Amino acid sequence: MVMQLAQALALPRVRVNEFLTAAGFAAAYSQTPLDAEALAPVRTALERVMENHAPYPAVLMDKDWGILAMNGAAERLFGMAGIGVGGSGLALLDLPGGPAAWIENWPEVGHHLLTRLEVESRALGGRRVLDQAAKRLRDDPAVAGFATEGPLPPLIPTIYRAGEMRLSLFSTFMQLGGTEDITLSELRVELMFPADSATKTMLEAMG
């Protein structure tokens, strides 16, 4: 009955385990540390995907946007903002001058990010880290005041600026399929691609 209710409510695996434990049953899903020997093939596969994505940035994150790994292109890009492995993909909100100092089209990117964080938190049954970041975005006048005339474009790139450098990137996200382990189900790789020819040329030159 617990499993049937969990399935009907589309609960995340970690919540299912909590419900089962509260009902006096054993957890249904494992939660294996990412550095465990059993997950070595997965780590190898993720590393290969990220390395082969060069010269474009790739970032491995957990459910709270914690950065677990980066390829060289991502290290160069986000290193300029002091963001690296062990940090957070949400650290852009804390940069000096705010995210608008780093992201040229911050109002529309912030609006999109807010929607995404709210959706992800609901899907996970509520996550404090994501909810706090979403609140900060709702309190940001630039994001709160964002409005468009007509429908949004099919693709919203993030335009990063650092000095004379300007990179326009859009992202795709890769998640592991066929896994019942909580750790693996919560991993995702953000693969960034150039949204214009100038960005493509610059990334390939930085190579």
Residues 6+ apart with CB under 8 A from 183: 31, 32, 33, 34, 39
pLDDT of residue 149: 75
Among 189, 126, 198, which Cα is nearest to 161's?
A: 198
Instruction: Choose from 18-32, 57-71, 90-104, 149-163 the range with maximum mean pLDDT.
Output: 57-71
Ranges of each domain in the chain: 1-30, 42-206
pLDDT tens per residue across span 170-186: 999 999 987 888 889 88
pLDDT tens per residue across span 123-166: 887 899 999 999 999 999 999 998 877 777 788 999 999 888 99
Task: Indicate the pTM of the whole model.
Answer: 0.86
3-state secondary structure of 57: coil
The amino acid present at 182, given as its one-letter code, is: I
Could you tell me the fold of the domain covering 42-206? Beta-Lactamase (3.30.450)
Please state, for a pLDDT cut of 90, what percent of the chain lies above it: 65
- Inter-residue contact 56 to 74 (CB < 8 Å): no
